[in-house]
Structure formats: structure tokens, C-alpha cells
Amino acid sequence: MKKHLLYSLLILAFIGQSCAQKPGNASPIVEPKVFLKNFMSYWKYSTQQLIFTDDFNCYAVTGEPISKSSFLAKYASGDYMPVRLQTKGEKAAYRLYKVSAANVNSDILQTIKQSGSFAYNEYLQLGKPLTGFNFTDLNGKVYTTAMLKGKIVALKFWFINCHACNNEMPELNKVVEQYKNRKDILFLSLATDSPKELKVFLKKTKFNYAVISEQNDYMTKQFKTNVYPTHVLIDKKGIVQLVTSDSKILTEKLKKEAI
């Protein structure tokens, strides 16, 4: 009798495990039909829920685990949208959701592809040395890969007519001021504009980063980004630790690196 009872309990436990929901099939925090109904809903969702700077779990459309490289490559294709899942732990989890012109408007589709390309490029750059660094700023100071070793570098990509780039400058100036006595931390920026245009702009707008002009080729061909602003944080070994368009995320990461 006891044997039969034990077998029954084991069978029930096995069935319970089999029926339990797999992590990749968890419910979305927000359903796709809700955040994809219009551009503003999508934008609010993507800026609040799609955060790939911290570690996360990722799943295919079917709910099966998938590598981050494959996950972000599919996101970059523009055919899939990450859906953030409800999780019990601190680590975020995302499942791919198939999108097309049949269920999503063209503006959202285009933005999904741009955002995916940025996220994938960010992933590919992390953990690698920043190469091809040989620049002269507007004041004639030279920066090379060799001289950056042993220093933390906060790097910004921008251009004059980028409103988002300009709007964050007052906050970035505060960050520069906060670390002004740290000789091991550099704040550099690469801009697409000419020296003349930048000098006129900087007379009216305060920006405490060192400014390097005419770097469109480096940003688009070497670093492979066309998202502005882009912030890159490089550690003392010359390794890229962060790529983000959010200056607040940069600030938080810099605090950790600067300890």
C-alpha cells in the first residue's frame, strides 16, 4: 500500500513539473497588442521596459531559450520585437514576438529595426577593446589608444542639430564637475560637425567634454552606429564596458567603474 502511495506521489510530482509553465512562456508585463497599438504606446514601452545593459534571459517565439547573439540578431532584423516577461527574480527576461506590416504600422516597424540594430551593435562591442582611437580635439590635444590605458573614458557621439544630444549636456556637465579631480577619468566626445561649426555652437552652449570634430566615418564605419547620442564607457584596460543612448545609465555605470 505504501509503495503504491509513493509511486502515485512521484507520478503526480512529475505531472506537476511537466505542466508547470516554462520561464520562456511566462506572461508579458504588457501585451503586444497594447504597446503596439500606436507609436506613443510603443515608445513608452520600449524606453521603460527594453533595457539590455544588465544581464537578462532571452527566449525564442516558441518560449525556448535562445542565445543573446541570436536573440539580438533577430531583433536587429526588424522582424521581431522583444516582449518583457513577468519574472520572480531580479534578472529580466524577454521573448521574441513576430511583427510585420500586417499587425504593426510602418513607423513602429522602422523604429524597431533601428533599436534592434543599436542593441545588437552594443552587444557586439561589449568586452572588446576600442580600436582606431587617434584623435585631436578642438584645443589641439591628441588622444591615442595607448595614452588611454589606465584611464576610464566616457565617450559621447553626437552632432549639433541633435536635440537629444543637446538636452542632456547640462546633466553631463554636472557629471564632469563631479569627477574634475579624478585624473584617471576622461570625458571625450566625437561630433560629426566641422571645427568652425562646433566653435560657434560651443560659444553659446556649455559642454565640458573635450570635443573632436568631423568623426562621422569613425562612428558609422568603425563603431557601426548611427544612433545619437551614443555613450560608450571604456575601462582602464581599454575594454568597452557599456554602450547606451541613455546618459543616466552611463552615469550609474561610471559610478561603479570609478570606485
Q: What pLDDT is attached to residue 21?
A: 55
- 211 three-class SS: strand
User: How far, in Å, CA of 93 to CA of 239, rounded?
Assistant: 26
User: How far, in Å, CA of 192 to CA of 217, rounded?
Assistant: 8
User: What type of residue is 17?
Assistant: Q
Q: Give me the residues of the chain with pLDDT under 70, please.
A: 1-21
User: How far, in Å, CA of 206 to CA of 8, rounded?
Assistant: 74
Q: What pLDDT is attached to residue 214?
A: 96
Q: What pLDDT is attached to residue 133?
A: 84
Other CB atoms closer than 10 Å to residue 28's CB: what's the count?
17
Strands 80-84, 142-144: pairing kind: unpaired
Q: What pLDDT is attached to residue 114?
A: 87
Contact 175, 195 (CB under 8 A): no
In the structure grid, which three cell numbers stand for residue 72, read together?
Answer: 539580438
| Domain ranges for the chain | 21-125, 134-257
Helix H or strand E segment including 57: strand 56-59
CATH of 134-257 given 3.40.718.10, 2.60.120.10, 3.40.30.10, 3.10.20.30: 3.40.30.10
